[in-house]
Homo-oligomer: A and B are copies of this chain.
Amino acid sequence: MNPFKEFRTVPDASSFAPVTLITETAAMRPDVFGGRAKCLQRLIRLQMPVPTTVALSFDAVRGIARGQMPDIGALMAPFGAAPLLSVRPSSLDPDWGGPGAILNIGLCDASHASLSASLGADVATKLYLQFIQIYATQVARLNPDAFHFDVRGGISAVRSALSAYEAEMDEPFPQDPAEQLSEVLRSMARTWEGTSARLLRQAKGAPSDAGLGLVVQTMAFGVGPGESGAGVIQFADSNTGAPRITGRYLSQSQGREALAAATGAIYLTHDTRGSSLEDENPAVFARLKAFGQIARTRLREEMQIEFTLSDGVLHIIDAVRVPRTVRAAVRIAVDLAESGIIPRDEAVHRIDVQAISAMLHRQVNPDAARDLILRAIGASPGAAHGKVVLTAEDAQAAAARGEAAILVRRETTPEDIRGMHAAAGVLTQRGGVTSHAAVVGRGLGVPCVVGASGLVIDRRGGRVIAPDGRVILAGDTITVDGFNGEVLAGEAPLREAQLDDAFQTLLAWADASRDIGIRANADTPRDARIASTFAAEGIGLCRTEHMFFEGDRIGMMREMIFAANSQERREVLGRLLPTQRQDFIRLFEIMNGKPVCIRLFDPPLHEFLPSDRAGMRDLADGLSLPLADVMARVEAMSEYNPMLGLRGVRLGITVPEIYEMQARAIFEATVAVSRDGLSVTPEIMIPLVSARREVQLVRGQIDAVASAVRAQSGVEFTYRLGVMVETPRAALRAGDIAQDVAFLSFGTNDLTQMTYGLSRDDAGRFMPAYLANQVFPDDPFHTLDLEGVGELLQIGAARARGSHQGVTLSVCGEHGGSAQTIAFCRKQGFDYVSCSPFRVPLARLAAAQIAIRERSSFPTASGKYL
């Protein structure tokens, strides 16, 4: 649900007349009468030939459902004597569902007779029969089987239908138009209040008190003498948003029959494939084109118009916004702004932030055939195909061979991260949208399907068994669709991300309007390139851990862990230095002078040690140590709660050689790129700080390395030192800490874990139950907990600024890219948020919308109505 799709409470809502003839000047508001009623009034104001229409307000319809029928005589007065009418629903959002339209109300023996004279007997009889059938089944709720009468039966079929009605109802078919209308209104009102309709619309995000309005309109017949018919026209392509007239017209039809008709409907514009309205009735076509232009300019939107010709006379029955894909929405908004019809800010404001995610990733081609293996939870958007691998190691091996792999696991753990990095897609048997696989997948931009509980993984057998019994061997190719959670056999055709010109234009406008920075969390050159493509203003969080896991680096890390003393540690780390320096050079080059914030080594060292006996034996061989020594060291280094153990700055202080090496690599990389003419001021971030003294100690260490590198290279450079605020204490003591640093970046993932006393890796076992019982309104790892974690951000930011006016404040972590977090951070005066690369465009757009909303109040239509 779009959280902004709210209307202000109306203090004078009750002052609207519940039943109102729609005129140019009648009081008519969408939150009182619904979107359709409001749109019809707009068409009337634009002088379009809309038949006489009366609107019933939400309150009026609620009254009807409770048995309070309005004065039907008064309601029908505007329609003159013996009118024929249609009734259509008019809720706030048509996506919420509602009763179908009912046409030709008022048809009875008497009007049938007069209609036979004006439209011809066949047409009149057909309309009467259809009306009796609709009325009997939709309004009186009679068994449809009793009303299967063929229209070719003519008047005798009508008589049979009338008899059938009387037989079922014990009373004759109502001949009074007022009675028919009353019953239609009552039926529609009650349908809306029914439990199933209520559940259905609430599932789509409707509030529990969503109202239904109704519009009663004089029938414009598309049947009868002369040129009569009905059609639908629009002026922009629903798929691409490009200017293009599409639609259908069907002679001798009513409503939207033209769209559904198998044969007989014609094109609108001149078309080599068949006849068209433009050719056959150029005057009417020209008037429709003119109406489209007026609607576009005056309603400031691309509209789809429903029209009827009655004996050559054009009526505009209804209009809705052109249905559109997100790609089309972007193109239409940009075109309207470029035409000067809406301001750029409004174009930016119109786009649904979440929806654009679909444009950023590859998708399974929607037109291609799908060989579905299973359907589970789409947890990280995008589609990918590759060969099935069952271990992280195999995924890395495949990546090394240049092959795309889909990593299939029961669930993923931190040990699998390298494999996930290497994989094209991930499929897990367990977990939900906040599982490890899901969170990491989104962070990496790796398509991910989770919770495939019907899947059997036979790792030893090197195969998986699908819910339908199909066996997929390791090495077989499958496709995962992280949008809808589908897993397909073979290599499904993919459609690339749709970063077209309109998208780029829109985001450029968004950047002009937003007032908070957006950076990307990027650990690898690949991440950095994506960040750069999406115009991130820098890297807000570069985690350096992965740099120690790759290839033979982990071997060196293990050697370092087993080193006897500081000198030996330095020696081993010295061998890692050149590759690490190269890592940073690549990042600096890709980011081309934009800031890069590098977090120093964070994980506990035991993550680098093997956990099984075989791995320990290998390690013992490699280090020429007794196995018992290796096992003893591994055991000694294990921790009860690694999250709360010897990691981050604690490691930096107790094993200072690692940070020294990293600082040297960063500074040497800075020097290297500066020799190539690139000016870089690296940002170095200390993780897991809880006391100011930690910062001071590490700062002394890093300053010394900087001085040494300056002296050795003869190149001057500066750097900015900061901390990652992940412990509640660091937030509380931000006033102290800020005095020693250039920036504070709030790591909301860990901060949430510590504020709740809740490990994300372990929360999965009860979080679903907690959300179901509304113990937590949202998963705090998914939606930033403003009341708890947010208050710590607020306290931290205020104290940091209080003691160090110019300190840079930011948020990095899963939450960083969400509109809610951005709005919160902006209000607290944060300088930027940093999020996973694929969220950067969403964040740029969301940030712009928040800024725009603060200074403008654009209408916030969504769904079909204006």
Instruction: Using CB atoms and an 8 Å cutoff, list the residues of chain A in contact with chain B.
Output: 413-414, 639-646, 650, 653-654, 688, 690-691, 693-694, 697, 726-729, 732-733, 750, 753-759, 761-763, 765-766, 769-770, 773-776, 785, 787-789, 791-792
Q: Which residues of B contact A757 (CB under 8 A)?
A: 643-644, 688, 690, 726-729, 750, 754
Q: Which residue of B lies closest to A436 (CB)?
A: B640
Q: In whole angstroms, what is the CA distance A747 to B762 when docked?
A: 22
In the complex, what residues of B have CB within 8 A of residue A728's CB?
A: 728, 754-755, 757, 788, 792
Q: Which residue of B lies closest to A414 (CB)?
A: B640
Contacting pair B641 A773 (CB below 8 A):
no
Residues of B near A758 (CB, < 8 A) are 644-645, 690, 727
Please tell me which one of the listed residues B641, B646, B694, B775 contacts residue A642 in the complex, with CB atoms under 8 A apart: B641
The answer to whether A774 and B693 touch across the interface, beta carbons within 8 angstroms, is yes
Report whether A733 and B788 are in contact in the complex, using a CB–CB cutoff of 8 Å: yes
Known A757-B690, A769-B654; judge A732-B775 contact (CB<8 A).
no
CB distance from A429 to the nearest CB of B (A): 13
Q: Give min CB distance, A762 to chain B, whole Å.
A: 4
Chain B residues lying within 8 Å of A761, measured Cβ to Cβ, are: 639-641
Indicate if the CB atoms of B640 and A643 lie closer than 8 Å: yes
Q: Bound state CA distance, A729 and B754, in angstroms?
A: 9
Complex copy number for this chain:
2
B688 touches A645 (CB 8 A): no
Which residue of chain B lies nearest to A694 when distances are taken between CB atoms in the complex?
Answer: B775
A650-B766, A733-B788 known; A644 and B773 CB under 8 Å?
no
- Docked-complex contact A653 and B754, CB < 8 angstroms: no
Known: A639-B762, A653-B769, A732-B791. 10 other contacts (CB 8 A): A413-B640, A639-B761, A641-B762, A645-B758, A654-B769, A690-B757, A694-B775, A727-B756, A729-B755, A729-B788
Q: What are 27 A-B residue pairs whose CB atoms fall within 8 Å in the complex?
A: A639-B761, A640-B642, A640-B759, A641-B762, A642-B762, A643-B759, A644-B753, A645-B763, A646-B762, A653-B769, A654-B765, A690-B756, A690-B757, A690-B788, A693-B773, A697-B773, A727-B756, A727-B758, A728-B757, A729-B755, A729-B756, A729-B757, A732-B791, A733-B787, A750-B757, A754-B754, A754-B755
The answer to whether residues A766 and B727 also contact, given A641-B761, A653-B775, A787-B732 and a CB cut-off of 8 A, is: no
Chain B minimum-CB-distance residue to A430: B636
Chain B residues whose C-beta falls within 8 Å of the C-beta of A789 in the assembled complex: 729
Q: A654 contacts B787, CB within 8 Å?
A: no
Residues of B within 8 A of A642 (CB): 640-641, 762
Residues of B within 8 A of A792 (CB): 728, 732
Query: Do B773 and A653 touch (CB < 8 A)?
Result: yes
Q: Which residues of B contact A775 (CB under 8 A)?
A: 653, 691, 693-694, 697
Bound Cα distance from A218 to B811, whole angstroms: 75
Bound CA span A754–B758, Å: 9
Query: Is A646 in contact with B766, judged by CB distance below 8 angstroms?
Result: yes
Residues of B within 8 A of A785 (CB): 729
Q: Which residue of B lies closest to A644 (CB)?
A: B759
Q: How far is the CA of A363 from the CA of B131 in the complex (A)?
A: 102
Which residue of chain B has its CB nearest to the CB of A637? B765
**Residues on the B chain within 8 Å of A762, using CB:** 639-642, 644-646
Cα separation A697 to B775 with both chains bound (whole Å): 8
On chain B, the residues within 8 Å of A653 by CB distance are 766, 769-770, 773, 775
- Which single residue of chain B is at the shortest CB-CB distance from A789? B729
Residue of B nearest to A726 (CB): B757
Q: What residues of B have a CB within 8 angstroms of the CB of A776 in the complex?
A: 691, 693
Q: Which residues of B contact A646 (CB under 8 A)?
A: 762, 765-766
| A659 to B414 CA separation, bound complex (whole angstroms) | 33
CB-nearest residue of chain B to A413 = B640
Most chain B CB within 10 A, of A642, A691, A773, is at A691
Cβ-closest chain B residue relative to A643 = B641
Q: Complex formed: what's the CA distance from A765 to B691 in Å? A: 18
Q: Which residues of B contact A733 (CB under 8 A)?
A: 787-788
**B773 adjacent to A755 (CB under 8 Å):** no
Min CB distance A239 to B, Å, is 45
Contact A654 B766 (CB under 8 A): yes
CB-defined contacts of A694 to chain B, threshold 8 Å: 775
The minimal Cβ–Cβ distance linking A203 to chain B, given in whole angstroms, is 22
Q: How far is the CA of A733 from the CA of B791 in the complex (A)?
A: 10
Specify which chain B residues have a CB less than 8 angstroms from the CB of A763 in the assembled complex.
645
In the complex formed, the residue of B with least CB distance to A750 is B757
Beta-carbon contact of A645 and B759 below 8 Å? yes
For the complex of A and B, the 8 pairs showing the least CB-CB separation, nearest first, are A644-B759, A645-B762, A729-B788, A641-B759, A727-B757, A728-B728, A640-B761, A641-B643
